[in-house]
Amino acid sequence: MSAGRRPYDVPKRAIDVVVSAVALVLTAPLQAVVAILVARDLGRPVLFRQVRPGKDGAPFTLVKFRSMRSAPPDASLEQDAERLTPFGRLLRSTSLDELPSLWNILRGDMSLVGPRPLLMDYLPLYTPRQARRHEVRPGLTGLAQVRGRNTVAWDDRFELDVDYVERRSLRLDLTVIAETVRTVLRREGVSSDTSATMEPFRGSVRSSDPVSPAAEATR
């Protein structure tokens, strides 16, 4: 599943290391404040951890701030909106919940820009073309995030992911980062029309492969 290496891939990783290290130092006081507020509003644990697929589908543990109350054992995806507090919505709309993921970038699990890491359950549901999103490290932000975030349909989202894989470059990364700042400031596309975040992916309508349900993980 590995994509051919490009000259940009080496400096891209170097940029990831430098930027994430600096950002972790600069945002440390802010992260401390957010952690205290999460503990007060949502309880413990403060961090949300979940195994996600990285480059070539290899699993890694994604780290974020919690934005939902703990789910009861029989909770359904439809109850996510009830578990998402006003403070949790603020964390998501401002992307403050993503700050701990800078550690994932520094460790090499993720990149600043790339397809967003989704769920391990989705791996067998992708078409061969959609699976190409895993040819690069997943990103803290990506083309789909600046083209509508969670309001973009799954098939269109994956096309944007593959488009990034095929066109990745410093210029494209800088463009995505600049557009991400604008999107976050405007708090656009945080939720889809029918879900607190995004409806679970259950297979592409363009795929001939068997489709099995994939349940969204609780936060």
**Is the pLDDT reported for residue 110 higher than 70?**
yes
**Residues 172-202: tens digit of each pLDDT:** 999 999 999 988 887 665 554 445 557 888 8
**Is the pLDDT reported for residue 70 higher than 80?**
no
Q: How many CA atoms lie within 13 A of 205 on its CB side?
A: 4
CB 110 within 8 A of CB 117: yes
Q: Tell me the C-alpha to C-alpha distance, in Å, between residue 75 and each of 44, 59, 78, 198.
A: 18, 25, 8, 17
For residues 41 and 126, the model is more confident at 126
Say what the pLDDT of residue 103 is: 97
Percent of the chain, pLDDT > 90?
59
CA-closest candidate to residue 20, choices 112, 87, 123? 112
Say what the pLDDT of residue 116 is: 95
H-state helical runs in the chain? 9-26, 28-42, 80-83, 86-94, 102-107, 154-167, 170-186
Place of tokens 């073309």: 129
**Model's pTM, two decimal places?**
0.83
**Residues 26-63: tens digit of each pLDDT:** 999 999 999 999 999 888 899 999 999 999 999 999 99
Residue 135 CA to residue 162 CA, distance in Å, equals 9
Q: Provide the mean pLDDT of the chain.
A: 84
